[in-house]
Amino acid sequence: MRLPVYREDKIVQALYEKEDVIWLPPERPWPKEFLAEKALLEGLDSRVLAPLRYEEHLVGFLALGEKRSGEPYNSEDFAFLSAAANQSSLSVENVRLFTNLQKTLEQTMEMKNLMDDIFSSMSSGVITTDISKKITLFNRAAEEIAGVSINLAVGKSLPDIMGFLGPRFNVLTESTLKQNQQVLREELTPNLPGRGAMHLQVSCSPLRDAHSDTKGTTIVIDDLTEQYELEAEQKRIRQTFGRVVAPRVRDRLLEDPSNLTLAGESEEISVLFADLHHFTSFSEQVPPEALFEVLNSYLTVAAQAILDEEGTLDKFMGDAAMAFWNAPDNQPNHTLRAVRAALKMNQALADHRALLDEHFQLYFSIGISRGVAMVGNVGTSELFNYTVIGSVVNLAQRLESVAEPNHILLSGPAYEEVAPYVEVKERPGLKLKGHEHLVTAYELMGLVEFSAE
């Protein structure tokens, strides 16, 4: 009988404790240790129990009933049973070892199949070699990167299969094998015929046995070519798109495609209009080439002042620029930002004029208003502009139209918002186009010393 080997079992416990054959004659009372197993032994018709031992370990036992002759067992029978048990124990142990070996083999094969599945499904190329650089493992991703089939790669020399990665790859694997050095995330950029430039990230680690001796290398290769191309394309789009719309609007549109719909929202904003004074008459006296150069230089300075205060540069209209604040992102101090942008613009333009010929010295007039407007994309589904629409926009433009060169006019609501931070001169009784009543505006003279962010 093969044992489940539970020490708690009374039969097993007795066989552990007694090395000789155990005889349970029918005419004698059952020993106490066997009373719990009496029904089992009687069911098996077992009267003699011979332990099977291998290297002093109990591996099973022989259970026999009464002799067919009816005669009792004698010492010669027990000696024979002991000898037979000794021979049988070796067979039982061999069966046990074979069963365990078969189970271990099945588990090993199952683990190997699992590891093969894992390696096959990995997006990273995985290659292992022995100490002589002969490839022992080559997964599917490595096959795609190298353009070599698994069957062709396994068993071949690593330099023969992966030589296209260049001398730097050979240095990495060589140092891993000879110096036991781990190399992490080394970038290689081979250029392959028919495939072009590739961007690969390579990591190499020593492949060690149970005694920590290096037996080969493990190489992991990540193909970042598509990612690099995508990043380059995104950079190109951002650079191109950033030349068409304000950077803040560009980022908002690219982060969430739903923002590309034709829709508008009501927001309180601050609007700035800046226009070059007497530019029309100036343009009639300057050659077109010089005119474009001068105009762009002035608009560049103006735009930079707006962007420095995180304004949304809406558009250029000939010699004029329009910007607004508090959209697409909330800016609690948006009117103060518009005021600072206007002052920075005038100061920067003063420095700019000092570098130009006296015939090219121009001045902006600026209007700033605050109020509610519709903010969103205006146009068609194919071509649109992120802009603001409302009377507050018109008011900023009207204030700019009556402002004198190098002057900044604020609307009443705009001044009320920034009054603690600015010095102004009241300009009452202004007649603005489109307004029935006279309008009071405030000429911005500068910021007070304690102006806050």
| pLDDT tens digit sequence for 310-352 | 898 888 999 999 999 998 888 899 999 999 999 999 999 999 9
CATH number at residue 154: 3.30.450.20
Please indicate, yes or no, if residue 106 is contained in any of the structural domains. Answer: no
Do 150 and 193 lie in one domain? The reply is: yes
- State yes or no: cis peptide before 328, omega within 30 of 0: yes
| pLDDT tens digit sequence for 268-314 | 999 999 999 888 888 888 888 889 999 999 999 999 999 899 898 88
Do 313 and 409 lie in one domain? The reply is: yes
Average pLDDT, the chain: 81
| pLDDT tens digit sequence for 346-359 | 999 999 999 888 88
Nearest to 52 by CA among 24, 14, 7, 93: 93
Using an 8 Å Cβ cutoff, are 61 and 51 in contact? yes
* Number of DSSP helices (H) and strands (E) in the chain, helices first: 15, 18
| pLDDT tens digit sequence for 49-67 | 777 777 767 777 777 777 7
Do 132 and 83 lie in one domain? The reply is: no
pLDDT above 70 as % of the chain? 80
Q: What are the structure tokens assigned to 339, written together?
A: 């005021």
Amino acid in the structure at residue 35: L
Q: What is the pLDDT at residue 74?
A: 76
Using an 8 Å Cβ cutoff, are 3 and 50 in contact? no
CATH number at residue 74: 3.30.450.40
Please indicate, yes or no, if residue 157 is contained in any of the structural domains. Answer: yes
Do 352 and 289 lie in one domain? The reply is: yes
DSSP 200-221: EEEEEEEEE-TT--EEEEEEEE
Do 76 and 212 lie in one domain? The reply is: no
The Cα-based distances of 32 to 29, 226, 311, 370 in angstroms read 9, 79, 97, 103
Using an 8 Å Cβ cutoff, are 153 and 138 in contact? yes
Using an 8 Å Cβ cutoff, are 281 and 327 in contact? no
Do 251 and 296 lie in one domain? The reply is: yes
Q: What are the structure tokens assigned to 183, written together?
A: 């190399």
Please indicate, yes or no, if residue 27 is contained in any of the structural domains. Answer: yes
Q: What is the pLDDT at residue 383?
A: 66
Number of domains into which the chain is organized: 3
Residue range 144-151: mean pLDDT, rounded: 87
Please indicate, yes or no, if residue 334 is contained in any of the structural domains. Answer: yes
Please give the Cα distance from 102 to 111 (Å, whole number). Answer: 14
Residue 134 structural domain: 122-227
Please indicate, yes or no, if residue 434 is contained in any of the structural domains. Answer: yes
Question: Pick the residue with more confidence: 109 or 306?
Answer: 306
Please indicate, yes or no, if residue 113 is contained in any of the structural domains. Answer: no
Using an 8 Å Cβ cutoff, are 334 and 326 in contact? yes
Do 420 and 277 lie in one domain? The reply is: yes
